[in-house]
Structure 1
Amino acid sequence: MTRTLDETSGGDTTARKGPKPITVGHRKNFVQLGVYIFILVPFAALIAAVPLAWGWGLTWVDVILAFVFFYFTGHGVTIGYHRYFTHGSFKAKRPLKIFLAIAGSMAMQGPPIIWVADHRRHHAFSDKEGDPHSPWLYGTGPVALTKGFWHAHMGWVFDRSLTNKERFAPDLLADKDIVRVNNTFAIWTALSLGLPALLGGLITWSWWGALTAFFWAGLVRIAILHHVTWSTNSICHMIGDRPFVSRDKAANVWPLAILSFGESWHNLHHADPTCARHGVRKGQIDTSARIIWFFEKFGWVHSVRWPTPARLAKISAGAEA
């Protein structure tokens, strides 16, 4: 009889009587190879970026293209993958829904359905057994936390077990638009790498301009965005402020706020996951929330779950007691 984890108690239960299992099968060998390529190649480019930037190979065209694609694809993850598809912080019209799914896919962090399933599983078992990327799974000693940090930051990406999409993302599996974007992930990956190179070549009218744009606005940009996103999983579950009540160790880490587009106000997010704004206090920059606000003003989204005094009071009471 198949065994699984009970989402509510954290104990063992039978799949026959309890919820569906949290994982189903493993990645195929060619998919696992793709994971290694898409993670390690941009990371190698990031390491090579320092000596390359010192004397040659970086122009203002590369910087501007990298900045544009970093913010475009990054907000595709934070607004689209995270706040919309995972948590339903607002409702979007169909063209914007498809656009956000494509923009998130171009961050090269995985197809939308897999990303959402993993993240919903993270919230269901946050910092407990079953969480795919908690830094606290190995203990609290120095060695255990070092191992936990590596696992939470990027080690978990190489785990071949697959989160059960039928359990954690049935709504997206039933959405034909999202399934279509999900199944064409390779196209969006190619665009994410190819468009910077194409634009760099056309702007400079040279093959060298295409090559440097591919390197900086393609590979290096993707690597930096990967590590910013993973820092929310690792750093923001280890250190920082916890002004709101959550059932885990999610914390606010202000130095990451701008690079993470507001995602590092992580304590509020875990205290109130469906809230469309994570940086709710004065001075807490949250560019994702600001863009959602613009979408609402243009009528592209509605039913936005903004923070209200009542919502904030509900999750602040215990922290202030």
Structure 2
Amino acid sequence: MSVDSVEAAPDDPARDAAPAGAKPILGDRRSGWQQGLVWAFVVIPMIALLATVPVVWGWGLGWWDVAIGAVFYTVGILGVTVGYHRHFTHRSFKAQRWLSVALTITGSMAIQGSMMAWVADHRRHHAFSDKEGDPHSPWRYGSTPWGVARGFFWAHIGWVFDRKKTNWDRFIPDLLADRVLRRVSALFGLWVTVSLVLPALLGGLLTWSWAGAVTGFFWGGLVRMAVCHHVTWSINSICHMIGARPFRSRDRSRNFWPLAILSMGESWHNLHHADPTCARHGVLKGQIDISARLIWFFEKFGWAHDVRWPTTRRLASLRRS
């Protein structure tokens, strides 16, 4: 069996978007204000993250700040991993309408772009993984020391500033045809506002002070956003450069265990690229996959169905000899 024949299930939306002669990969360029927002939502949280040490020494870090940051991080990152990624991009499971809407909203609260834009980029990544057309391959500049350094920076954060947008008509026609999801995704700005205002509101109410509101916004809003960004970007960069490759795939995807908890199971990236539609990425003994466990709960409650769980036969066919 060839590697190409086992890289993805035949009905994987990302794989289906790749045929030669199809619509162009790229669509319109971002407008000036859109590009400005990208810079703001990347640079400001990074500055906030770098400022954490003097903030700790100057103001202190309370348990409420930790709790607020942890809750909003968990909600946002699971919205991306379970919703944006496994549900919308790869159709690893089907969900009741209300759950699809909720996953669109919680994924938006991670502030990594609208659901439509995120899915289009990620389907394009899978269609051309580590090849010409991949929006964030760390190998785009070659394998020399300087090329690897440039590639890592590009895959981790540089690609975010590329003003050329992925062609939605080619990569997400199924989502564009869904009027409800299209409208919820278009309200991305509202969900971003909620994601930043709620931590401040909770911080103020829980401590009954303006200082609590400020620290709630800082830790639960800006710092939480920065950590969420860098964990997700690390899947694009680190997980295509460092780690184990127990399964066969057409690219250089790897498993990087130190990120397993923070990424909610996304860093078991080699299996994911070997079998993109699989609902569980951590399939080997000891591989924690929190996102898969949440999907399991959704299924048990009847909120999700047609879940594509891994099978022993399928995994055996994908293992390296």
Same-fold call, TM cutoff 0.5: yes
Q: 1:81 aligns with which of 81, 84, 94?
A: 84
Given the alignment of the two structures, is residue 95 of structure 1 paired with residue 98 of structure 2, yes or no?
yes
Report the Cα distance in structure 2 between the residues aligned to 1:282 and 1:110, rounded to whole angstroms. Answer: 34
The aligned amino acid for 2:222 is L
The aligned amino acid for 1:188 is W
Given the alignment of the two structures, is residue 117 of structure 1 paired with residue 136 of structure 2, yes or no?
no
Q: CA deviation at 1:210?
A: 0.4
Identity fraction in percent: 64
Given the alignment of the two structures, is residue 49 of structure 1 paired with residue 52 of structure 2, yes or no?
yes
Q: 2:130 corresponds to which residue? A: 127
Aligned positions of 1:237-316 closer than 5 A: 237-316=240-319
Asked whether the 8 Å contact 1:57–1:212 carries over to 2, the reply is: no
**Greater relative contact order structure (CA < 8 Å, 6+ sep):** 2
The aligned amino acid for 2:183 is R
Asked whether the 8 Å contact 1:70–1:221 carries over to 2, the reply is: yes
Report the Cα distance in structure 2 between the residues aligned to 1:129 and 1:54, rounded to whole angstroms. Answer: 47
Aligned positions of 1:138-157 closer than 5 A: 138-157=141-160
Asked whether the 8 Å contact 1:239–1:251 carries over to 2, the reply is: yes
User: What secondary structure, in the 3-state scheme, does the structure 1 residue paired with 2:49 have?
Assistant: helix
Asked whether the 8 Å contact 1:196–1:214 carries over to 2, the reply is: yes
Q: CA deviation at 1:55?
A: 4.1
Structure 2: any 5+ residue segments left out of the alignment?
1-16
Aligned length: 305
Report the Cα distance in structure 2 between the residues aligned to 1:93 and 1:180, rounded to whole angstroms. Answer: 17
Q: Please report the TM-score for the alignment, with normalisation by the length of structure 1.
A: 0.94
Given the alignment of the two structures, is residue 105 of structure 1 paired with residue 85 of structure 2, yes or no?
no
Report the Cα distance in structure 1 between the residues aligned to 2:271 and 2:18, rounded to whole angstroms. Answer: 22
Q: 1:180 aligns with which of 170, 178, 183?
A: 183
Q: 1:65 corresponds to which residue? A: 68
Q: Please report the TM-score for the alignment, with normalisation by the length of structure 2.
A: 0.94
The aligned amino acid for 1:34 is L
Given the alignment of the two structures, is residue 26 of structure 1 paired with residue 29 of structure 2, yes or no?
yes
Q: 1:191 corresponds to which residue? A: 194
Deviations 1:106-155, CA, capped at 9 Å, x for gaps = 00000000000000000000000100000001010110000000000000
Report the Cα distance in structure 2 between the residues aligned to 1:187 and 1:48, rounded to whole angstroms. Answer: 27
The aligned amino acid for 2:33 is F
Q: 1:3 corresponds to which residue? A: none
Deviations 1:254-282, CA, capped at 9 Å, x for gaps = 00000000000000000000000000011
Dislocated runs of 4+, deviation >6 Å: none
Structure 1: any 5+ residue segments left out of the alignment?
1-5, 10-17
User: What secondary structure, in the 3-state scheme, does the structure 2 residue paired with 1:25 have?
Assistant: strand
Report the Cα distance in structure 2 between the residues aligned to 1:185 and 1:87, rounded to whole angstroms. Answer: 21
Report the Cα distance in structure 2 between the residues aligned to 1:88 and 1:315, rounded to whole angstroms. Answer: 20
Report the Cα distance in structure 2 between the residues aligned to 1:231 and 1:62, rounded to whole angstroms. Answer: 25
Q: 2:173 corresponds to which residue? A: 170
Report the Cα distance in structure 2 between the residues aligned to 1:7 and 1:209, rounded to whole angstroms. Answer: 49
Q: CA deviation at 1:7?
A: 3.9
User: What secondary structure, in the 3-state scheme, does the structure 1 residue paired with 2:68 have?
Assistant: helix
